[in-house]
Amino acid sequence: MKKLKQSHFFPPEVEDKLRYLFRRVHKEHPFYRHIFEEAKLSPDDDPISVLDRFPVMDRKGYLELQRDIFFRLKGGHFLTERTSGTTGPKKIRFVTQRDEAAEEELCLRFFRQCGLAPSDRVLAIDIDSPEIYLFYSRALLRMGIHDFSYVNFAGSGDEALKPLFTFRPTVILTVPSVLSRCKAKLAHASGPDGERYLKKVLYIAENMSPELRHTLSEDMGLEVFSFYGSTEIGSMAGECQKHEGIHLFNDAVVPTLIDPVDERNCITGQVAWTTLHFTDQPLIKYVNGDVISVAKGECTCCRHYPLMTHISRIDDIFTIYGQKFRYDDFKRAITRELGGIESLTIIITSGDKCDRVVFRVPDYLIKERDVILRAVHLIDDFHYFLKMGFVVTDIEVDSGYEIVKRKSNRVVDLRGEVSPRRNRLSCRRVSVPVNEICGRQ
């Protein structure tokens, strides 16, 4: 915890906010009071020490907190939200109006960092329910932006994107997995006089590949901004106009890194979040499954919020016979051979005699299937598992004709399911024997 404090994770006022939070939840929330008693903690102790020793909250704890919140509402007005499923099975969240207003303030901070103005026209593109975008529309309205529209891109994408040419948005708000499939249309978003009215892309919910970002920013001349948040925790960080990273809103959400690795320029680890801006449903050390890296230096934009990078999710790690494999290792291996890959999904299923690992790649890479499999087969531990017959590999090509999921999963582990379900993305499979790729008999 001392390392975190020394690395500017905590602005000076946070200690007092934490002390106030601990005293309040101990008094008002039976759920948290029980945790204090079980952990033999006092809300009057040093707040940094309390946060360090406070147990992390997992999904089970979060559900118990929701029950506690529901009964404390006592008939008051509240909103209900369902989480997207990124952090596990979908969960219900009860949100009071004042907590919603506090979250909107952080969203407004991000919009201002992006340089949005009342004259902007914002178009949201998604394949899911527009419910989440109602929140963004309320925040935009508070900025004086009245021109906001939503289109559902599922199914007939070309037909759905007509508002690109009628609404003429200056800003697109979407998720990268949807954006990658409509970027060709974005490239032609210009008026009759040839003027490019689309200026900015704001993306949420998942990481964007460097290749897609380069296409948008360098080839298409769009300014790209990342927004980091979750349904349970709300807004946590947003990119500024210097594009050196995303700024962690650490005056409102405090990260605690579990087993942090202290590197020369940053500190990296799995993160647990504590919220300081929620009155009715505060979270203390809630683990959402993310691994982040927080820089020790400052951004050239001179904002005092530290720079953060979202590294991966804990579930981007999968195991075979107890050996851990990381998604990023496979993507790096393929990138070394091809110079980059726009999207990659790893799917693991159980076979009759061994596990099957399928690499789903974009359609245009079908001609590179031998190169891709040769690259991943040379990963040391994975090479051994292949040689011993613990695993076999396939290539599955994402044709991208049908979009049925809002977010693209990086790792899909279907082992243990009675009837493994196939992802309904349009795809075709190409199986290549190991010895054919690796040149071994």
Q: From 250, 284, 313, give the residue that closes a domain.
A: 313
User: Among 208-212, 221-225, 233-237, which stretch is predicted with the lowest mean pLDDT?
Assistant: 208-212
Q: From 313, 332, 363, give the residue that closes a domain.
A: 313
More confident site: 334 or 309: 334
pLDDT, average across residues 201-213 = 85
**pLDDT tens per residue across span 232-268:** 888 889 998 888 888 889 889 999 988 888 888 888 8
pLDDT tier at 282 (50, 70, 90 boundaries)? very high
pLDDT tier at 155 (50, 70, 90 boundaries)? low
DSSP 316: G
pLDDT of residue 441: 31
| Shared-domain flag, residues 327 and 345 | yes
Position 394 pLDDT exceeds 70: yes
Position 439 pLDDT exceeds 50: no
Q: What is the CATH number of the domain that holds 388?
A: 3.30.300.30
Share of the chain above pLDDT 70, in %: 80
Decide: 173 and 136 in contact? Cβ < 8 Å: yes
Position 273 pLDDT exceeds 70: yes
Residue 168 CA: distances (Å) to CA of 124, 140, 177, 198: 12, 17, 22, 7
Domain extent, residue 54, equals: 1-313
| Shared-domain flag, residues 150 and 47 | yes
pLDDT of residue 171: 95
- With a CB cutoff of 8 Å and minimum separation 6, the contacts of 394 are 356, 357, 358, 359, 429, 430, 431, 432
Contacts 24+ apart (CB under 8 A), 415-418: 415/348, 415/349, 415/350, 415/355, 416/350
| Shared-domain flag, residues 81 and 222 | yes
Position 437 pLDDT exceeds 50: no
| Residue type at position 364 | Y
| Shared-domain flag, residues 326 and 297 | no
Q: What is the mean pLDDT of the chain?
A: 80
| Shared-domain flag, residues 86 and 10 | yes
| Shared-domain flag, residues 270 and 359 | no
| Shared-domain flag, residues 224 and 137 | yes
270-308 burial: b if 16+ Cβ within 10 Å, else e: bbbbbbbbbebbbbbbbbbbbbbbbbbeebeeeeebbbb
pLDDT, average across residues 122-148 = 87
pLDDT of residue 426: 32
More confident site: 167 or 320: 167
pLDDT of residue 311: 67
More confident site: 237 or 422: 237
**pLDDT tens per residue across span 60-69:** 888 888 888 7
| Shared-domain flag, residues 83 and 230 | yes
More confident site: 410 or 107: 107
Position 284 pLDDT exceeds 90: yes
| Shared-domain flag, residues 286 and 348 | no
pLDDT, average across residues 75-90 = 61
pLDDT of residue 87: 52
pLDDT of residue 302: 67
pLDDT of residue 55: 94
Q: What is the CATH number of the domain that holds 90?
A: 3.40.50.12780
pLDDT, average across residues 193-207 = 84
Classify residue 145 as exposed, middle or buried by CB count within 10 Å of its CB (0-12, 13-18, 19+). buried
With 0.75 as the threshold, say if the pTM is over it.
no
pLDDT, average across residues 7-34 = 85
Q: For residue 33, what are its two tokens? A: 């009071």
| Shared-domain flag, residues 91 and 169 | yes
DSSP 368: G
pLDDT of residue 156: 52
More confident site: 112 or 165: 112
| Shared-domain flag, residues 265 and 338 | no
pLDDT of residue 34: 94
Position 140 pLDDT exceeds 70: yes
Say how many domains are in the chain. 2
pLDDT of residue 166: 83
pLDDT of residue 164: 77
Q: From 286, 313, 340, give the residue that closes a domain.
A: 313
Q: Longest Cα pair distance anywhere in the chain, in angstroms?
A: 71
| Shared-domain flag, residues 151 and 244 | yes
Distance, in Å, from the CA atom of 194 to the CA atom of 188, rounded to the nearest integer, reads 9
Share of the chain above pLDDT 90, in %: 28
Position 342 pLDDT exceeds 90: no
Position 114 pLDDT exceeds 70: yes
Which range has the top average pLDDT, 306-315, 369-378, 407-416? 369-378
pLDDT of residue 393: 92
